[in-house]
Amino acid sequence: MSNAPRRESVIERARLEPGVIDALHVGVLVLDPSGRIVDLNREAALLLDLSADSARDCASRDVLPPGSVVADVAERALRERRGVPETVGSLGGAPNGRFARCSATPVRGASREARAFAIEFRDVTGEVRVEQEVRQLDRLATIGRFAAAIAHEIRNPLTGIYAGVQFLERTLPPANDQQSATYQIVREEVEHLNRIVEDMLGTARTPEPRLETVDPNEVARKARLLLEEDARRRSVRVELRPDDSLPSVRLDPSLLLQVLLNLGRNALEASSAGGEITIETAVSLGSPSGGTIAAAASGPGVEFRVRDHGPGISPSERARIFEPFRTSKRGGTGLGLYVSFQIMEKHGGALWVRTEVDEGSEFSAWVPYHRRGEGGGDAGSAR
């Protein structure tokens, strides 16, 4: 209530002195009771990507981004004929865009009827991102404690179950197709549970890379070998396309293998029977200008690409696929890509995806020839 007279005074002065609201460091829209934009300042035009001259005298519903917090607050103020307290929401209406803190104040005449509404908003994307990261870290800390507590309780019985199934298959071979299928189902479900535990443990404590001088093609070959059995069950072919001219690089082969297996399993799950996934290595200058990037870097290095020809990833999903607990897969944890992102970040590398709906996806993991802080020299000399 104490700010209402000040805001009304600002708006009144703005009609006579246009520079008044332009001097404010918040976006201001002035709407008449019908929702027509009477005025807006330079900051509002900038934040909403509008031309101030074109927006004036237009209906706010035709100008403001649908689904944005500014449009929602304006619509509520006009409908209820009263002020709206500060609300945080999307500035542009897109789920992965900027955020704004927005409020509405009625400007009342002598009769106390609202004769205009001042919509004020400011960009709070940085604040929202920090809050999201804090909440995310809290969730990860909780998962870490939980994972550490259950690791031995779950993994040891799983190991026993898997070994028992293998023993039964050797000593009591299946007498018919149904028994054979049952053995396979038990194996697959144990492997699935074990991957969930591994993902949770990986999120709880991604180790520091133990760097070795490694032939990147050897890591790719091992990944293909370990994916072959899963691919065979799905009737999907795994194609390896190594670049034999690549120099050796400094990386942790176990952690990079984990990344390639995460990407490879995702590609297999996205593929239909009779399909194909490709694992490729190549010289690269780092993350591209396009694509969805989890960790960006540039400079000479080696790129590991895993490509599928599945349904692709929708724009709404791809914006957040590298965040923890984000998954569209039934039974998935949403941790595999996040763990992969952490591993690449600790290598001083990059992770990104190029994808089109109905055309498939290509995930790329990039490692530099030399990590930041390491000595230079000829990239190929370690070969």
Q: What CATH number does the domain containing 349 carry?
A: 3.30.565.10
In a domain, 382, yes or no: no
- The three-state secondary structure class of 44 is helix
Query: Do 342 and 250 share a domain, yes or no?
Result: yes
pTM over 0.75: no
pLDDT at 383 over 50: no
Residue 379 lies in a domain: no
Of 123, 157, 180, which closes a domain?
A: 123
Residue 60: which CATH number? 3.30.450.20
Q: Are the CB atoms for 295 and 344 separated by under 8 Å? A: yes
Asked whether residue 224 falls in the same domain as residue 119, the answer is no
Q: Which of 77, 108, 123 is the last residue of a domain?
A: 123
Q: Which of 290, 292, 313, 309 is nearest to 360 (CA)?
A: 309
Does one domain contain both 46 and 179?
Answer: no
pLDDT cut 70: percent of the chain above it: 77
Domain that holds residue 24: 4-123
Higher-pLDDT residue of 131, 219: 219
Q: Is 357 helix (H, G, I), strand (E, B) or coil?
A: coil
Beta bridge partners of 117: 31, 106
Mean of all residue pLDDT scores within the chain? 81
By the 8 A CB rule, do 83 and 31 touch? no
Assign 115 to helix, strand or coil.
Answer: strand
DSSP 51: -
Among candidate residues 155, 183, 205, the one where a domain is terminated:
205
132 and 112 housed in the same domain: no
Contact residues for 331 (Cβ-Cβ < 8 A; gap 6+): 192
3-state secondary structure of 39: strand
Question: 């790129």: which residue's tokens?
Answer: 303
The more confidently predicted of residues 308 and 136 is 308
- Looking at the structure, do residues 268 and 327 belong to the same domain, yes or no? yes
Tell me whether residue 101 is in a domain. yes
Residues 179 and 225 in one domain: no
Is 353 a domain residue? yes
pLDDT digits (tens, 9 = 90+) for 86-109: 999 988 765 557 899 999 999 887
Rounded Cα gap, residues 110 and 233, in angstroms: 78
- Give tens-digit pLDDT for 251-289: 999 899 989 999 999 999 999 999 999 999 999 876 555
Q: Judge if 331 and 356 occupy the same domain.
A: yes
193-227 pLDDT per residue, tens: 887 777 666 655 667 888 999 999 999 999 999 99
Say if residue 117 is in the same domain as residue 165. Answer: no
Tell me the Cα Rg of the chain: 28
Judged by average pLDDT, the poorest of 12-16, 140-144, 240-244 is 12-16
Verify that 248 and 362 share a domain, yes or no. Answer: yes
Same domain, 96 and 159: no
- CA dist 282 and 223 (Å) reads 16
* pLDDT of residue 75 exceeding 90: yes
When divided into structural domains, the chain yields a total of 3
Q: Do 200 and 255 have their domain in common?
A: no
Tell me: do 132 and 118 sit in the same domain.
Answer: no
Q: pLDDT at position 141, please?
A: 67
CATH code, 195: 1.10.287
